Amino acid sequence: MNSQTLTGFALSRGKAERLAETRALGAALQNELKVFLVNGPEIAMANNGLGFVAAKDFESLAYLGFFEGDHFAVALSGDVESIAAKHGFEWHSLRTVGADLGDLEVGLATAAIALNNWHRTHTHCPRCGDETFVSNSGWTRQCPKDGTEHYPRTDPAIIVAITNPEDKILMARQTVWQPTHFSHVAGFVEPGETLEAAVAREAMEEIGIKIDSVTYMGSQPWPFPASLMLAFVATTSSSEITVDGDEIAEAYWYSRAELVAACKAGELRIPSKVSVARKLIEHWYGSELPDEWSRP
C-alpha cells in the first residue's frame, strides 16, 4: 500500500478475531455464543447496538469470531422478524447506521450481512442441483450428493474519482437515480480483467473519458449484496464528457467552489458518510463535508 491510501472507511473497521481454526471452537461453544439477527441489509438493534439472543433457538448459525472473551455468531435460520419483535429490537440498515456503529459491531454486522446474503441465495449445488447444507461453522456449504464444498463469493467492484487538468472532479448521475444524486464512475470487475483496466473501461463506457493515470486508494466491503469496493483516483487530460445514456444520464466537472455552491443550492446531493464515494469526494475536497449535503 502506498502512503496515499485512505483509511477509516466506515465498513472497513472490525475487531473480532476470525481465524478459521477458531470456527470449530465457536461451534463447540454454541450455548455461550452471542447471536444477533440480520435480514438483507438490515440489523436487529437494541439500544443503538446489536441485539443479542440465545443460540439454542437456531438450527443454523455462522460463527463470526471472538473479542475479549465473547464469541459472536449470526443466525442463518429461523423467523428473524418474529424473534426480533419478541425482543423489542428495531431493524436498521447497515447503510444508515454503519458509520455510527463501533469498530467491533460494524465489523461483525458487515461480515454477517455478506454471509447471510450468500446463504440465502446459494441454497443449491451448482454442479448437480441438490440442496446444500451449511458447513464449516457457516463459512461454506456442502453438497450431500457429490460432496463438493462451496465458498461465499465476494464481487470486486471499482469506484473512481476522476479529476481533469483544472483539478475539477467528475460527478455523474445514474439514470435510475433522483435528479440531484451524483457520484463517481463505478462498476464490477469482469473476468480476466485487472483493476486498472476495469477503471479505464468503466470511465470510457460510462462517460467517454480516457484515463491517464490510476492510483489505488483503499477498499471497503459493501455487502449489498456481495461487493468489495476498490477505491481509486484517476486523472484525465480530456475534459469532454460523453455519457452513455444507458447507465449514466448526465455528468459534470465541479471545482471545489462549484460543488459547494451546488450543494448549498440543493441541486447536488453527495453519497452518504458510510460510502467509499463520500471518502473520495472529501479526500479531493480536502476536508469533511456537511451531513446535510448527503442523500437522504
- In the complex, the smallest distance separating the C-beta of residue 77 from Zn ion, rounded to whole angstroms, is 21
Question: What are the helix (H) ranges across 88-154?
Answer: 94-97, 103-121
Pair 281, 269: CB distance under 8 Å: no
3-state secondary structure of 13: coil
Q: Which is nearer to Zn ion, 125 or 159 (CB)?
A: 125
What does the binding site for Zn ion look like in residue numbers (CB under 5 A)?
125, 127-128, 130, 143, 145-146
Closer of 7 and 123 to Zn ion (Cβ): 123
Q: 125 vs 241, which CB is nearer to Zn ion?
A: 125
Dihedral sign for Cα atoms in the order 121, 278, 206, 163: negative
In angstroms, rounded to a whole number, what is the distance separating the alpha carbons of residues 61 and 97?
23
Identify the helix (H) or strand (E) that includes residue 42.
Answer: strand 42-46
CB nearer to Zn ion: pick between 126 and 266: 126
> CA-CA distances (angstroms) from residue 277 to 34, 220, 287?
33, 11, 14
Are the C-beta atoms of 241 and 208 separated by less than 8 Å? Answer: yes
- Whole-number minimum distance, CB 153 to Zn ion, in Å? 17
Length of the chain: 296
Contact 46, 37 (CB under 8 A): no
Nearer to Zn ion, 125 or 203 (CB): 125
Q: Is there a contact between 185 and 171 (Cβ–Cβ < 8 Å)?
A: no
Q: Which is nearer to Zn ion, 103 or 130 (CB)?
A: 130
- At closest approach, how far in Å is the CB of 155 from Zn ion? 23
* Terminal Cα distance for the chain, rounded: 33
Q: Minimum distance from CB of 239 to Zn ion (Å)?
A: 53
CA–CA distance, 27 with 138 (Å, rounded to integer): 9
Beta strands 155-163 and 227-235, pairing class: parallel
Phi, psi of 89 (to 5 degrees): -75, 155
**Minimum distance, C-beta of residue 122 to Zn ion, in the bound complex (Å):** 12
Residue 101 makes CB contacts below 8 A (sequence gap 6+) with 49, 109
Burial grade of 46 (CB within 10 A; 0-12, 13-18, 19 or more): middle
For residue 136, the minimal CB distance to Zn ion (Å) is: 16
CB of 152 to Zn ion, least distance (A): 17
Q: How far is the CB of 125 from Zn ion (least distance, A)?
A: 3
